[in-house]
DNA sequence: AATCTACCCAACCGCCCTTAT
DNA sequence: GATAAGGGCGGTTGGGTAGAT
């Protein structure tokens, strides 16, 4: 659609607001409410577009704004929320009464990013910065940032659940979706919000499907490249600490994390898996059996076909789920014991403040030898 | 004192989503 | 269903300013 029609109108003021303009806008909205923003400037006697008035009200004139410097508690909240939500400033602002998304965004870009870097934490991934990453490769960081800011390219359904599909980043110089080795070496992470989880009947029993992690899945395929000559490349995920929410910044290289043990496809027709469905289902194909040579896999796998036809569910050995878990146990390894095995991830294994509060759950898929 | 630099932050831009027609 | 408009959001810009040289 492009620009608003009001923006084309001539003789509209731009730039900083004068006290007189503020007074006019404040007075008008206090008396009448804003109603339709496009009509506000005319009714309030302002030479501004409605959009500009709205922004001025929301970011500056609104009476419930807190103003002033952010407290350390607020800064910590923003850091934690950013680890959970990424650059979703409006959602972060919603958790901080009296603060605007613009204000938080500015704070993040001008101050918090720097503070995190000084602490050796990558502000994009909220992971410790490896030496290699620190030795810079701006392009890779830009790519990570871009990936973290990915937006869904389409909606799809898995079972009865609508999910977002993310486009796999493409490397123009390569047939593979992504040049992964750099990411491995960077120990970078891929974050996936719970909104992309596939609910399976209850909010506490959800599985991350292949479709939501196609970006990661492609990475894994490439990370299996034996050219790395490294058997430690794994897809890992960071488990919760005991109870409560876990700040990404609390996680460090000594963090225990689960290694992925088995690939497994669920080939049932509707793409969903009920919570009481036995995982000994013959439709399940052990992907390990298909992998003879990782290099060959890289050449042969047509991931897009799987994306279209085959949801992959990642599960765990959570005791609450006694059906699927029996056959897909995961094991906690220390970071020097990571094995090149793959498997399922269950949402109870991710850190979250509450199983019923999906907005605050987030997966962290990490690629590399250590975190 | 003058100039430069880095930083902050208010505001704008461009796009997306929703709603109305 | 197509189109237009409003509202919302995240990225970016550019003016102001504090601190350094």
**DSSP line for A268-311:** -TTS---TT--TT-TT-EEHHHH-S-HHHHHHH--HHHHHHH--
Angle at alpha carbon of residue A190, lines to A187 and A193, rounded to 5°: 150
Nearest partner of A206 among A154, A308, A271, A274, judged by Cα: A274
- Other C-beta atoms closer than 10 Å to the C-beta of A330 total 25
Q: CB of A7 under 7 A from strand B?
A: yes
Rounded to an integer, what distance in angstroms lies between the CA atom of residue A83 and that of residue A85? 6
Radius of gyration of chain A (CA): 24
Nearest partner of A255 among A236, A238, A242, A233, judged by Cα: A238
Structure tokens at A84: 């959970």
Reading chain A (371 residues) residue by residue, the pLDDT tens digits are: 323 444 444 567 888 888 888 888 888 888 888 888 888 888 888 888 888 888 888 888 888 888 778 888 888 888 888 887 788 888 888 888 888 888 888 888 888 888 887 777 878 777 776 544 444 444 544 444 444 444 333 333 323 333 332 332 323 332 222 222 223 222 223 333 333 333 322 333 333 332 223 222 222 222 222 222 222 222 333 222 222 222 222 222 222 222 222 222 222 222 222 222 222 222 222 222 222 222 222 222 332 232 222 222 232 323 332 222 222 222 222 222 222 222 233 343 333 333 333 222 333 333 222 21
CA A150 to C1' B2 (Å) is 47
CA A204 to C1' B2 (Å) is 65
Q: CB of A174 under 7 A from strand B?
A: no
DSSP secondary structure letter of residue A327: G
Structure tokens at A250: 């609390």
CA A308 to C1' C13 (Å) is 41
A window 25-44: Cβ near strand B (< 7 A):
none
Please give the nucleotide, over all strands, whose C1' is closest to the CA of residue A93.
C9
Please give the nucleotide, over all strands, whose C1' is closest to the CA of residue A149.
C10
Chain B positions with a protein C-beta closer than 7 Å: 7-18
CA A365 to C1' B10 (Å) is 37
Going from the C-alpha of A141 to that of each of A5, A71, A135, A173, A188, the distances in angstroms are 37, 29, 11, 18, 9
Rounded to an integer, what distance in angstroms lies between the CA atom of residue A40 and that of residue A55? 12
Helix (H, G, I), strand (E, B) or coil at A102: helix
* Beta strands per DSSP E along A135-234: 154-158, 161-165, 189-193, 198-199, 206-209
Rounded to an integer, what distance in angstroms lies between the CA atom of residue A151 and that of residue A133? 25
Rounded to an integer, what distance in angstroms lies between the CA atom of residue A224 and that of residue A239? 23
CA A109 to C1' C13 (Å) is 14
DSSP secondary structure letter of residue A334: -
Q: A60, A122 in Cβ contact below 8 A?
A: no
Nearest partner of A325 among A314, A313, A317, A333, judged by Cα: A317
CA A226 to C1' C7 (Å) is 51
Going from the C-alpha of A205 to that of each of A163, A194, A364, the distances in angstroms are 16, 12, 18
Please give the nucleotide, over all strands, whose C1' is closest to the CA of residue A109.
B8
Q: CB of A110 under 7 A from strand B?
A: yes
Please name the helix (run of DSSP H) or strand (run of DSSP E) that holds residue A77, with its range, or none. helix A72-85
CA A117 to C1' B9 (Å) is 21
pTM: 0.45
Please give the nucleotide, over all strands, whose C1' is closest to the CA of residue A40.
C6
């Amino acid at each position: 659609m492009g620009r608003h029609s009001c923006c084309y109108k001539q003789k509209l003021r731009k730039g900083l607001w004068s006290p007189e303009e503020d007074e006019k806008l404040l007075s008008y909205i206090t008396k009448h409410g804003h109603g339709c923003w496009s009509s506000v400037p005319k009714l309030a006697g302002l030479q501004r577009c409605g959009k500009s008035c709205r922004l001025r009200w929301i970011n500056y004139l609104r009476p419930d704004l807190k103003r002033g410097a952010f407290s350390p508690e607020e800064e910590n909240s923003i850091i934690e929320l950013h680890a959970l939500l990424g650059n979703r400033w409006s959602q972060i602002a919603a958790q901080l009464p009296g603060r605007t998304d613009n204000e938080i965004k500015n704070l993040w870009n001008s101050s918090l990013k720097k503070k995190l870097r000084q602490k050796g934490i990558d502000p994009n991934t909220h992971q410790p910065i490896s030496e290699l990453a620190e030795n810079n490769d701006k392009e890779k960081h830009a790519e990570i940032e871009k990936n973290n800011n990915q937006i869904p390219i389409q909606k799809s359904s898995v079972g009865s659940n609508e999910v977002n599909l993310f486009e796999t980043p493409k490397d123009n110089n390569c047939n593979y979706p992504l040049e992964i080795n750099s990411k491995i070496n960077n120990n970078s992470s891929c974050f996936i919000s719970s909104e992309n989880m596939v609910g399976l009947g209850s909010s506490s029993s959800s599985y991350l499907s292949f479709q939501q992690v196609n970006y990661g899945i492609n990475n894994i395929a490439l990370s299996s490249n034996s050219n790395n000559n490294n058997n430690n490349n794994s897809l890992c995920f960071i488990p919760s600490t005991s109870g409560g929410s876990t700040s990404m910044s609390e996680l460090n290289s000594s963090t225990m994390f689960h290694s992925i043990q088995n690939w497994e496809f669920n080939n049932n027709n509707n793409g969903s898996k009920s919570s009481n469905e036995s995982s000994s289902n013959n439709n399940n194909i052990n992907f390990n059996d298909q992998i003879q040579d990782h290099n060959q896999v890289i050449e042969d796998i047509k991931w897009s076909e799987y994306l279209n036809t085959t949801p992959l569910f990642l599960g765990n050995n959570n005791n609450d789920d006694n059906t699927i878990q029996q056959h897909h146990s995961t094991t906690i390894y220390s970071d020097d014991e990571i094995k090149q095995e793959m498997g399922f991830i269950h949402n109870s294994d991710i850190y979250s403040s509450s199983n019923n509060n999906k907005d605050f759950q987030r997966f962290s898929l990490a690629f590399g030898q250590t975190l």
